[in-house]
Structures are given as C-alpha cells and as structure tokens.
Amino acid sequence: MSQVPDRNLALELVRVTEVAAIAAARHQGRGNKESVDQAAVDAMRQVLSTIDMDGVVVIGEGEKDEAPMLFNGETVGNGHPPLVDVAVDPVDGTRLTARGMPGALAVIALAPRGTMYAPGKLVYMDKIAVGPAAAGMIDIEAPVAHNLQQVARAKDIPISDVTAIILDRPRNEPYVQAVREAGARIALIGDGDISGSIATAKSDSGVDILFGIGGSPEAVTSACAMAALNGEIQAKLWPRDDSERVFAAEEGLDLDQVLTTRDLVDSDNTFFAATGVTSGELLEGVRFGSHSVHTHSLVLRSKTGTVRFINAIHSVDQLRDLSAFEL
C-alpha cells in the first residue's frame, strides 16, 4: 500500500469534522468554552481512530503535558498507510460557540509525513493572506498600504472598495489604523482566523485580504486550505516574550524568516475539511431537528483543486448507536 496519500482523504475527514461540530454545537451558548472544546476533541478523536492512515499530530491541542488528547506528537488513525502529518482544530472559535456567536468551525487538515511546519511553543504568527487574484503580489514585510494597493490593482477596484479582515485584538490595532489611513474597508472578527484566510479566496465573501497576529496553528492549517484554493498566505513567528525567543534560538527557528505557503506546508497534496459549528460567512452551523441533525462542510484537496460544499443530514438515532459520545 502506498506510503503517501493516493486517495481523497478529505472525503473521509469530513466525517471527523461533522461529529466534532455536532458534539460542540450541543454546548452552544452555554458559556463554557472548555466543555465546547472537550466535546469536540472526544468526538474527533473517536472517529479519527477509524480512518485508514498513519497520522502524527503536528498541529494539535498543545504539548502532551497540557493536552490529554490530540496533543502534538500523538499518533492518530488506524495505523495503516498512508503516512501523514495532521493538523487539528476541534473548534476554531470555542469562545464564539460558548457565547452563541457566529463563525465557529471544526477543522482538520492533512499532508504527507514531514511536510507541515512545526512552530512548537511559538503559538503566534504575524500573517497576511489573499485569494488567487492577488497571489504572488503581496509582501508581509511591505507597508499595509502597499499590500492594499496590490490587491486593488489585482482586482481592478479602487482601494476604497478593498476589504481587510482582521482579528479584533489590541495587538492588531496598528493594522486597523494603517488600513483606515489607506482608505480601505475593515471587517473585524472576534475569533477564527482560519475562516478569515479562506474568505479571502472565496469570490463572494466580500473579503479581499487578511492582516494581523493570530495563532501559529491556524496559519499552518490555513496554508493547507490556501494551497487547494490557489491563494497565498505569508507569516512570521511572533514571540510573546524572552522565553519564546530563547525557545526559537534553541530550536533553530528564524524569527526573521518570511514563511510562505510552501514553507508552512511543503506539499502539492494537502487535504482540508471544515464543518460549521455556528453559522458564519463561510459555512452554516449545526441545526438540530427532532430526528435529524443538519451539517454544512467544506472539503478541499490541493492535488486536484477540487472544492466541495457538503450539506449532510444525519439520523440522530443511528449516530447514537454508532457513537460513544452524546449527540
């Protein structure tokens, strides 16, 4: 059997994100983000164990001593080939789900073994992302105004019509001010910059470019999606303190390096699946009926460039029979 993926694993992975989203959505609006995350992790891990793959979690819930399951370095799948790196985000937007707010996703991505960038304890990166129209025209080290002009030129629109999506955090205030000074529009998001990156590559999203400092895991996971969407993401490690700078030096991580899409995932055969937990611009959230559960998912594979949106109807009774976790 091939040691590298030769089938569309994303179509199997969507089962993983569906059950994680359903489990997390049960806790929507209850105010407990830990319960949201735990429910999704439990569900995701159970279904992952049935997938034909020999996976190692490169981007997970944290280091082994911090995360009981889906930790960095954990093996997942049933142990059969292909050999793959795995990035999981059981809920990208646990706070959003706990508060009943829009835009949360359950996410997983795969690539051949040894191709995913591992940031270790450096949990933040400075990022910029665009869709296919402006791919190859941006530079994370250039001024914000220059990148906005490049996007406007690529899309043949005035800079006043360009919309930048930015994670709403104090650390990103300089980006907000720079975009305003350049005369472009802004869409602020509370969490979930995976969906923000993907939105730049979706022609009807109304979003043209992503700026800002967000999670390193989300950058690697987004790169798997952007590779399939012919978009582009660039990133630079963003240490929070001296201890993280020391860690970078010890691990040989270059804080000045511009990490391209290819640096973040060095493969033309990436797989990505996401299912909406709460409804947002990218995907509809989980909807519960009397005997069924409706999910909406996005499935991508870079080798073929195929983009699939999947609307699924799940039988509650049959899911309960097949699952050890509560649905």
The structure tokens listed for 27 are 């806790």
Task: Domains for the chain: give ranges and CATH numbers.
Answer: 10-116+270-322 (3.30.540.10), 124-264 (3.40.190.90)
Model confidence at 5: pLDDT above 70: no
Q: For 266-282, how does the pLDDT look when each residue is reduced to its tens digit (9 = 90+)?
A: 999 999 999 999 999 89
- What is the spatial distance between Cα 179 and Cα 185, in angstroms, rounded to a whole number? 7
154-205 pLDDT per residue, tens = 999 999 999 999 999 999 999 999 999 999 999 999 888 899 999 999 989 9
| Helix%, strand%, coil% for the chain, nearest 5 | 35, 25, 40
- Residue-wise pLDDT for 222-265, tens only, equals 999 999 999 999 999 999 999 999 999 999 999 999 999 999 99
The angle at the Cα of 278, spanning 277 to 279, to the nearest 5 degrees, equals 120
For residue 82, cis peptide bond before it (omega within 30 degrees of 0): yes
Residue-level pLDDT at 307: 94
Q: What are the backbone dihedrals phi and psi of residue 173, each rounded to the nearest 5 degrees, phi first?
A: -60, -40
Segments in the chain forming alpha helices (H): 10-25, 33-48, 94-98, 144-155, 173-182, 193-200, 216-229, 242-251, 261-264, 316-322
Predicted TM-score (pTM) of the model is: 0.92
| Mean pLDDT, range 39-68, rounded to an integer | 86
Q: Quote the pLDDT of residue 192.
A: 81
| Res. 62 pLDDT band, cuts 50 70 90 | confident
